Structure 1
Amino acid sequence: MTAPADPRGTWQLPAFGAMPRTADLEPLVTRVLAPNPSGMTLDGTNTYLVGAPGSGAAVLVDPGPDDPAHLEAVEAALAARGARCAAVLVTHHHGDHAEAALPWGARFGAQVMAGSGDVAGPGGRVLTGGDRLQLAGTTVEVVPTPGHCSDHLAFRIESGAVLVGDHVLGRGTSVVTHPEGDVVAYLESLRRVRDLGPAALYCGHGPELTEDPGAVLDYYLAHRAYREGQVLAALQGGATTVDELVASIYAEVPKAVWFAAAQSTRATLDKLRAEGRVEEAADGTVRPA
């Protein structure tokens, strides 16, 4: 099997660690990078301010960690836009995106909106696909993107850009978490975002993708098919456990992130098992059907 080529390999993206703390991406959007870099969060969590220039308001998307330095940077970015926080939107419940949602919503006097009631909190709003939010002088369309996790949402803005959270990353590929993630739903969500014809992808981690967003989405689809083929080949070669599959398939990947690879592998096995292509024994070992 030949691995699909990542189109971003030829793009002029900022080096890891070189993303600016605050950046105006377009008239509607400012990005503020949280100071929480890691092997899983890449450069850190991207927090976005979305609003029409001159509206005096902005929507805060994915506030990220409840970190004083990050809050200070977000408040400075709001001040630079001459804007108050009109609402807090969250793509999904993972802490690196949602931890600050409720405390910052209370600080700004802004309603929290998310795909989960636990994230939206008392007085918050649970969003569903197709909702159109009239906020901060602009329209934000809610796009359902389950797969990375069950409550994942993306937000399409009037410029045609899509804020994709962890559905697509600026570097590498996303994890399909297990057991809450779902590979079939993830693939459907990738196609749904691709069919929107996004002008740009503003990711939850890593740089914005503006050169050819459709090519990145096609690569993500091809990458998942490639990983599935690797799982089947490794099983045919004698691997019987998730640990053995990960050690074989992700041998070139740092072991520090093998736990995440194991989640995606388990999610892939769930898909293959549902399709009748693999079988699981009582002891948890797996074999081709």
Structure 2
Amino acid sequence: MPVVQTPADPRTSWDLPAPGELPRTAALEPLVTRVLAPNPSPMTLDGTNTYLVGAPGAGQAVLVDPGPDDHAHLAAVEAALADRGARCVAVLVTHHHGDHAEAALPWGAHFGAPVAAADQRVAGPGGRVLAPGERLGLAGTTLDVVPTPGHTADHLAFRLESGAVLVGDHVLGRGTSVVTHPEGDVLAYLESLRRVHDLGPSALYCGHGPELTEDPGAVLDFYLAHRAMREEQLLAALAEGPRTVDELVATVYAAVPREVWPAAAQSTRATLVKLLAEGRVEGRLDGPVRRA
């Protein structure tokens, strides 16, 4: 397969915590405390990042992405709330995946706090469905609801008064995000990356991995370039003849651990859907695909 130039990841030169070294609880800025859930894996990295957001001294906090319904994680969140002198007044969820949303309804009931998300199934029968562009006045501060579909159709981000953006799985602290198939959409994902870029974020607080504060715009540029690279790699592989999705993954992701190949296959399918729609390839996802 012809060599496709790999874009440089700006984070490689940053002083970021090594995998497994993220602190369990960390104050990221006056508005935000991060609590790391104990669910590390190749897909969740160090674990799910749960965020507490609220103005100092407000006595209230918003819980964003509670993560797994885990007793030890709940205890750590309650300890972080106590350190802030705050009670939970709302639970917000970036998207429906269980590593972000599982605890939303039980913890909302536990704290007596309403749950809000883009999907009614996540928010629950008594919850609130968030609309793109809403401004939420909560816990002495405001959070802007930013639509970021792509990773999933219901994905949201939340922009804080400080300029930081809670990006869920739209951007990860390490590596790149998966565009799931069939619920993910590469075209929507690229548009969402540009939308977050246009916000000029002061920091990206990711669903997994460390916070990105040094040059968030450079990371978003890298994500866009990385997606373009994957397209070129697929087209280069197909230039050598028809390939199935599994054969493409084995070629394009040969240097990636096999344990993440199933996720790579999802992103590959999602990218092929885009290329099929553009007429650059032809065939079917359940069979060989060829260059058009």
Once the two structures are superposed, the pairs formed by residues 63-78 of structure 1 within 5 Å of their partners are 63-78=66-81
Are the equivalent residues in 2 in contact too, given 1:169–1:206 (CA < 8 A)? yes
Q: Kindly state the Cα deviation for residue 283 of structure 1 after the two structures are TM-superposed.
A: 6.4
How far the C-alpha of 1:122 sits from its partner, in A, is 1.1
206, 220, 234: which is aligned to 1:203? 206
Query: Of 235, 247, 261, which residue of structure 1 is paired with 2:250?
Result: 247
Report the AA paired with residue 124 of structure 2: G
Of the three residues 17, 20, 30, the one matched with 2:20 is: 17
Classify the secondary structure of the residue corresponding to 1:227.
helix
What is the aligned counterpart of 2:162 among 159, 163, 170?
159
CA contact (8 A) 2:244 2:286 kept: no
For residue 109 of structure 2, give the secondary structure of its aligned residue in structure 1.
helix
Identity %: 80
Write the mapping of 1:180-259 to structure 2, written as runs, cut at 5 A. Answer: 180-259=183-262
1: CA distance between counterparts of 2:216 and 2:11?
A: 10
SS of the counterpart of 1:229?
helix
**Contact 1:90-1:114 at 8 Å conserved across structures:** yes
Counterpart in 1 of 2:171?
Answer: 168
Q: Taking structure 1 as reference, are residues 72 and 288 closer, same or farther at Cα in structure 2, changes over 3 Å only?
A: same
User: Quick one: distance in 2 between partners of 1:49 and 1:281?
Assistant: 44
Asked whether the equivalents of residues 239 and 245 of structure 1 are also in contact (C-alpha less than 8 Å), the reply is no
CA distance in 2, matches of 1:57, 1:154: 21
Amino acid of the residue matched to residue 249 of structure 1? V
Q: What is the distance in 1 between the residues matched to 2:37 and 2:233?
A: 35
Which of 116, 131, 134 is 1:128 aligned to?
A: 131
User: Which residue among 98, 119, 122 is the counterpart of 1:119?
Assistant: 122
Aligned to 1:50: 53
Shift of 1:238: 2.1
Following TM superposition, the consecutive aligned residue runs of length 4 or more in structure 1 with deviations greater than 4 angstroms are none
Unaligned runs of 5+ in 1: none
Q: 1:4 to 1:138 in 2, by over 3 A?
A: same
1:94 is aligned to 2:97: yes
Shift of 1:128: 1.4
Q: Deviation at 1:282?
A: 9.3
Q: RMSD of aligned C-alpha atoms?
A: 0.9
Checking the alignment, whether the CA contact within 8 Å between 2:244 and 2:285 is kept in structure 1 is no
| Amino acid paired to 1:174 | S
Write the deviation string for residues 174-226 of structure 1: whole angstroms up to 9, x where unpaired: 00000000000000000000000000000000000000000000000000000
Which of 81, 84, 93 is residue 81 of structure 1 equivalent to? 84
Aligned-pair CA distance for 1:30? 0.1
User: For the structure 1 residues 21 and 283, does the alpha-carbon distance in structure 2 shift closer, same or farther, using more than 3 Å as the test?
Assistant: closer
Unaligned residue ranges in structure 2 (runs of 5+): none
Give the TM-score of the pair, scaled to structure 2. Answer: 0.98
User: Residues 154 and 162 of structure 1 are in contact (CA less than 8 Å); yes or no, is this contact kept in structure 2?
Assistant: yes
The AA in structure 1 aligned to 2:133 is G
Deviation at 1:240, TM superposition (A): 1.3
The whole-number CA distance in structure 1 between the counterparts of 2:285 and 2:180 is: 23
Whether contact under 8 Å (2:150, 2:190) holds in the other structure is yes
Answer whether contact 2:242 2:291 (CA < 8 A) is retained: no
Distance in 1 (CA, whole Å) between partners of 2:266 and 2:284 is: 19
What is the number of residues matched between the two proteins?
289
What is the Cα deviation at residue 108 of structure 1? 0.3
